[in-house]
Structures are given as C-alpha cells and as structure tokens.
Homo-oligomer: A and B are copies of this chain.
Amino acid sequence: MKKQAQCNITTQCQTRILAIKDAMEILSGKWKFHILGTLLLNEKLRFMDLLREVEGIAPKMLSKELQDMEMNQLITRTIVHTKPITVEYALTEAGKTVGPLIDELASWGTAYRNALFHQ
C-alpha cells in the first residue's frame, strides 16, 4: 500500500543536488549577486566605484566578497599603477555565466510579487 517516494537516491539526482549545493555555496551571502550584477553592467570597476554602486555595502564586506569571488574565479583583480594606485575588478568568463541565473532570479521574484498581488 505504501508508495514510497525514492527519487532522491539515483545518481542522477545526487549529481544534481551536488551541483545545486556548489552553486549555493559559491554564490552565497547577501551581496554577491548585487556585486556580480553591477559588474555585468560595467565591465571594469574599481573598489571605490563598487563601494558607491553597491548601495549599503561596507568596505569590509566588499573586500571579503571580492576575495571570495576571486578565489572562485568569478572575477579578476588587477592592480593599475596609476597614482594613486587603483585596482580594477572585472568578471571572468565563468563570472559572466551568472547572467542568466540572475535574470532567472529576478524574473522569479517579479513573477512571485505579481502573483501574490493579483490573487
């Protein structure tokens, strides 16, 4: 009589679950999407530009999130020997691939709002 559900034990499913876990880990936190989204629109930005663009972020958090994402090869950090020295942050090819994901998230959020509003 019991129709036991057991979808989550196939290797296919396990791989999928791991992929999602990876994605969530790499893109976790309050600010990463915001930073990545800003870099998607700007190509190159300096630390102070990001600090101004990403509204509300503190230098400590920006620094930490940028380091995280550089480690995970989503962005590059290049020192420019101007005077005073400046640092340019830009998306890598891997970083650019978050575009569709951000779009999906934004459209889901929008649709969700509208759905609740129009019900």
Q: Is A67 an interface residue, CB under 8 A from the partner?
A: no
Interface size on A, as a range, is 35 or more
Q: How far is the CA of A104 from the CA of B97 in the complex (A)?
A: 11
CB <8 Å contact, B108 and A101? yes
12 contacts between A and B (CB under 8 A): A5-B53, A8-B41, A8-B53, A18-B109, A19-B108, A20-B33, A20-B105, A21-B109, A26-B112, A94-B112, A94-B116, A97-B108
User: How many copies of this chain does the complex contain?
Assistant: 2
Q: Which residues of A come within 8 Å of B, CB atoms?
A: 4-8, 15-24, 26, 30, 33-34, 37-38, 41-42, 45, 49, 52-55, 73, 93-94, 97-98, 100-102, 104-113, 115-116
Q: Are A116 and B5 in contact (CB under 8 A)?
A: no
